Structure 1
Amino acid sequence: MTKSILLIFFSTIIGNIFAQNSSSNNIDASIDTNQIIISNIYIKGNKVTKKRIVLRELKFKENDTISKNNLAKLIKRSKENLLNISLFNYVSIKTSFVNKSNINIFINLEERWYLWPYPIFEHADRNLSSFIHNKDWDRINYGLFVLKNNFRGRNEILKIKARYGYKEQYLINYKIPYIDKKGKNGIETNFAYFRQKEIAFNTINNKLQFYQSDNYIREIIDASVSYSYRPRWDNSHLFKLEYKNVSITDTITILNSDYLGDRRDNIFYFNFVYRFTSDKRDSKVYPLKGYVYRISATKFGLFKNPDVNIFYLDAVYSKYCKISNKFYFNSGLKIKKSLKNDNIYFEKQALGYDDFLRAFEYNVIDGNDFFLFRNNFKYELVKPRIKQYEFIPSSKFNKIHYSVYLNLFFDSGYVNDNIYDVSNTMVKEFLYSGGIGIDFVTYYDKIIRFEYSVNKFGNNGFFIHFGAPIFINKKTTNIGRL
């Protein structure tokens, strides 16, 4: 089944992989020379951001000698790189000739607002549609989340969270993307503590089964350190070491003896993740052109841990192309294959969580292995526009860009498992769905999608989602189930 889907997927997109996108050339055609020297690069508007952070994302540097015909392409990609680090709302790059063979480059930036003290009031379900469907208002989280982007002007990120309610969480996270002058090496540290009075202890009929108590029935300690290596603009490596400690009450072990495996009420283990990503999309927020692929290897239970022995590989490939003036096509395939897998319910997730088929929002399909294939055909209803509101005093908020796209989509997937296939009919079943939707894209990386979809069983409905419809998922930490 997986091989067939792979053949269909790659035959669908292979014709687009080598497509070239035309772009305007800012070079004066009257200049005869084929080589141009970049004399100076002037940067304006980086009041907080260090100059070296901006220079790191450029595909050229001062004193470079480059082809005249290649300059427009390098400028376009440099602009995309600067927007993709999510430090600026707007970026413009212009050129000016010093003489026939030398140019100056002028970069104008409009920085974002970087300090966000968020009051937390959110649902704690797998997705918004599931929360609306369940109508369980006990599953509400509240608290405070402080996010500091571009900390110290070096694109560092500091997160502090105190969340209460359904799923308590205390978090501190610090990410330094560049610890060296060349901007190739980075580190990230994370510590989180969770506790809950209600959790999902099993999956039956493709629905999560919950148990609730007046006391806390599960606690999780999660600590990790990550090292990233980005030798080029588009390619990156991630190495992550994680410690996880999970405790549950005796009641949960009685309800599901495999929740932590072998009737255990506590396990602690180290995990290791390696991930390679090659990302050549025009936008990491809502891409329309380019491609991205990612390959990961994950091992739960290091140092001969007798409690946990899980090892799996997963891969993602997504392709984005422009068909004509207003029409676009996106396609994405994700595959997970388990090579070693202890029967630990807490760590066994497939579709219905971060990865899901549309029109299956109310279901979970647990298992060891899966593939998910998504396709979107887009029509640009409203091309990207900028509207300025003069009554808003801050330049970081008064200029809003937005665009709207109509979507036709088709998803398919398959989950393999030998434990949950008896009580869950969607396991070992080829699944598919389709529908129509509207995507609204605006500034500060905000996307809201309104979709109507129907699946192979005839289940249908209107659903609301946030984020781009074709993955990649940015999450690097999995803290387990609800």
Structure 2
Amino acid sequence: MVKASFLVILLLSLFSGVALAQTNESAPEDIPLPSLPDTLSSQRPVKIDHIFILGNRRTRPSIILREVDVTEGEVYRRDALVEILEADRNKIFNTSLFTTVRVSIVDVGPYKVDIIISLQERWYTFPVPIFSLADRNFNDWWVNQEGDLSRVEYGLKFYQYNMRGRNERLKLQAQFGFTQKFELGYRMPYIDRAQKNGLNLRLSYLENNSVAYQTLEHKLVFLDLERPIKEQWNAAIEWRHRNSFYTSHNVELAYRQRTIADTLAMVNPGYFLEGQTRQRYFYLEYRFTHDKRDIRAYPLHGYLLNLSASRYGLGMWDDIDLTRLNADYVKFWELDKNLFFSNDVGVQVSLPERQPYNNFAGLGYSQSLVRGYELYVIPGQHYFLNRSTLRLRLFEGEKSLGKLMPLKQFRNIPIAIYLKTYLDQGYVVSDNFFPGNEQFSNTWLGGTGIGLDIVTFYDGVIRLEYSLNNAGEAGFFLHMNADF
């Protein structure tokens, strides 16, 4: 879904208490690791005497120390300790529990130091107003749907973050408009003393009076009725095993039930296959993640590897029989001061060839797309995607609201601006169960362009892009999220 205008979100955020954290652009300034006195060598071993944590009024120390790679009583070479603490600072920041994180080294003797971790906690209890578009991106809504305001979704999300000081999260959602959605979720990142295992529980109900029932010329075609066309129930439990700082394993087991109106099954018998009006199945997914990005909201260094295997249907019913494999690897480099490069490679394989329209995927259905093809979806069983981006940081700074903002969590607004150019390519393998969608299927797709990224707070990213695709089409595209 497309996020609302960023200015609207920012205004609502300030008045509703939405806790937004800093981006990585302010991260280097948040690590005041003092230079080594002349009397000490940077390679001299030092022993950590104590680790002090300041500012964690709610968050339990164990949650913070879980992200720290150093321990009291251990001996480190001084220059190596500085590098370790820089990485530890980013790991603490990536918990999304704090607006600022500062790590300092204090000498308490020739061979002994203390570590000071200073934190500013977020505002953990707040409602988040929902104002979004139901379509895949802003341009899809503006061009393909002619800016139809009936496709707006509105409502309220209520979050209680960091419950019991354990980084647990309660989520309640009531959404109306194009999609009516009610959701209850509870996340427990750790359920054991070793802090390696966690659980995530979700229950949701969705209802639509307008549903995309076919794809024609690579654009979604919708069926509209005065009554609900589609209803969905979802219940899921997810187990997460985080065996190291950067690696995690997730296993999700879910039950999903969808029902559609007879009219939808008549106009597209392949929606659930064989003209069925109900689809119910158990869903099992395994995900492996190795994440060594510096700051997840807008990384400039490191890499991310995601692998997943999903199974739709575990044999209890015959409504669906689908297996999907996904792999994605993105790498970030700093080429020179203020100059950065990233490359993202993704692949998908799914079987069998004949799949329900409701469960079909490909390029364009989410963030997996070739830039320049935002107006299109390319359905298929398998795809390959490669996206390369060169970024030049033009500006970074911070705006202070001072006494105009009584809540100190929101007084400082960091902002950074990047000029970028990019080159994308992709390929979708389709056995063509979708007549009328041959133009971009089974052919190489390419896109290039220039753009501007405006980054602020934790996940506030505005992307302004002018792209040209290899079909000879060019256009200006607006996005409200990062492109990785």
Name the SS for the 1:390 alignment partner.
helix
Contact 1:26 1:95 in 2 (8 A): no
Which amino acid in 2 is paired with 1:30? T
1:431 corresponds to 2:439:
no
Aligned counterparts, 1:212-231, within 5 A: 212-231=224-243
- Higher relative contact order (CA closer than 8 Å, sequence separation 6+): 2
Structure 1: distance between partners of 2:480 and 2:219: 23
Aligned to 1:358: 371
Secondary structure at 1:231's aligned position in 2?
coil
The corresponding residue for 2:208 is 196
| Contact 1:42 1:107 (8 Å CA) reproduced | yes
Q: Give the SS at the match of 1:350.
A: strand
Which residue in 2 is equivalent to 1:13?
none
Q: Quick one: distance in 2 between partners of 1:61 and 1:28? A: 23
* AA matched with 2:140: S
| Aligned with 2:129 (options 101, 107, 119) | 119
Instruction: State TM-score, norm by structure 1.
Output: 0.90
* Inter-CA distance 341–37: structure 2 relative to 1 (3 Å threshold): farther
Q: Quick check: 165-174 or 123-132, which moved more?
A: 123-132
2:443 match: secondary structure: coil
Equivalent residue runs for 1:220-369 within 5 Å = 220-303=232-315, 305-354=317-366, 355-369=368-382
Secondary structure, aligned partner of 2:447: strand
**Residues in 2 aligned to 1:341 and 1:225: alpha-carbon distance in whole angstroms:** 29
Q: 1:314–1:390: structure 2 CA closer, same or farther, 3 Å change rule?
A: same
Q: CA deviation at 1:343?
A: 1.8
Please name the residue that 2:480 is paired with. 466
- TM-score by length of structure 2 reads 0.89
Which residue identity does 1:334 align to in structure 2? G
| Count of residue pairs brought into register by the alignment | 449
Percent identity reads 33
Deviation of residue 453 (structure 1)?
0.9
How far apart, in 2, do the equivalents of 1:391 and 1:87 lie?
24
Q: CA deviation at 1:423?
A: 1.8
2:457 is aligned with 1:443: yes
The amino acid of 1:93's aligned partner reads: V
Q: How many Å apart are 1:144 and its aligned residue?
A: 1.4
Range with greater deviation from structure 2 (362-371 or 61-70): 61-70
Question: 1:252 aligns to what SS in structure 2?
Answer: helix
Per-residue deviation at 1:381? 0.4
Partner of 2:431: 418
Distance 1:116 1:359, change over 3 A: farther
Aligned residue number for residue 402 of structure 2? 389
Aligned partner letter, 2:448: G
Match of residue 140 from structure 1: 152
Instruction: Provide the residue aligned with 1:31 in structure 2.
Output: 40
The correspondence of residues 136-215 of structure 1 with structure 2, limited to 5 A, is 136-215=148-227
Question: Which residue pairs with 1:110 in the alignment?
Answer: 120
Which residue pairs with 2:16 in the alignment? none
Query: Structure 2 CA distance, aligned partners of 1:229 and 1:67?
Result: 32
Query: Residue 78 of structure 1 is aligned with which of 88, 97, 119?
Result: 88
Indicate conservation of the 8 Å contact 1:310/1:341, yes or no: no
**How far, CA to CA, are the matches of 1:422 and 1:200 in structure 2?**
16
- Looking at structure 1, the residues matched to 444 and 246 of structure 2 have their Cα atoms a distance apart, in angstroms, of 34
Is the Cα–Cα contact under 8 Å of residues 353 and 431 in structure 2 kept in the other structure?
Answer: no
Q: Distance in 2 between matches of 1:143 and 1:380?
A: 36
1:317/1:345 CA distance change after superposition, 3 Å: same
Which SS does the other structure have where 1:366 is aligned? Answer: strand
What residue number does 1:376 align with? Answer: 389
Secondary structure, counterpart of 1:261 in structure 2: coil
CA distance in 1, matches of 2:257, 2:308: 23
Q: Is the 8 A contact 1:412 1:430 kept in 2?
A: yes
The answer for unaligned runs of 5 or more in structure 2 is 1-27
Structure 1's 27 and 59: CA in aligned 2 closer, same or farther, altered over 3 A?
Answer: farther
| TM-aligned CA distance change 1:361 to 1:256, over 3 Å | same
Candidates 401, 404, 409, aligned match of 2:417:
404
Is the contact between residue 281 and residue 316 of structure 2 (CA under 8 Å) also seen in structure 1? Answer: no
Alpha-carbon distance between aligned partners in 1 of 2:432 and 2:37, rounded to the nearest angstrom: 67
Task: Measure the CA separation in 2 of the matches of 1:183 and 1:445.
Answer: 26
DSSP-derived class of the 2:150 partner = coil
Residue identity matched to 2:113: I
Which residue is 1:6 aligned to? none
Cα distance in 2, alignment partners of residues 436 and 99 from structure 1: 53
Shift of 1:29: 5.5
- Paired with 1:341 and 1:387, the residues of 2 have a C-alpha distance of 56
2:369 and 2:182 map into 1 onto residues whose CA distance is 27
| Aligned equivalent of 1:17 | none
CA distance in 1, matches of 2:354, 2:113: 61
C-alpha distance after superposition, 1:5-63 (max 9, x if no partner): xxxxxxxxxxxxxxxx9x98844463357422211111111112111111111111222
The CA distance in 1 between the partners of 2:295 and 2:390, in whole Å, is 17
Secondary structure in 2 matching 1:322: strand
Checking the alignment, whether the CA contact within 8 Å between 2:34 and 2:105 is kept in structure 1 is: no
- Report the CA distance between 1:340 and its aligned residue: 3.4
**How big is each residue's C-alpha offset from its partner over 1:399-441, in whole Å with a ceiling of 9 and x where there is no partner?**
1211111010111111111134642121111101111111111
Structure 2: which amino acid aligns with 1:212? Answer: D
Decide whether the 8 Å contact of 1:321 with 1:329 is kept in 2.
yes
Which residue of structure 2 lines up, in the alignment, with residue 48 of structure 1?
Answer: 58
Q: Deviations over 1:332-377 (max 9, x none)?
A: 0110011435420100011112122222111111111111111110
Structure 2: how far apart are the matches of 1:29 and 1:290?
Answer: 32
Which whole-Å CA distance do the structure 1 matches of 2:83 and 2:38 have between them?
16
State the SS of the aligned residue for 1:153.
coil
Deviates more, 1:219-228 or 1:97-106: 97-106
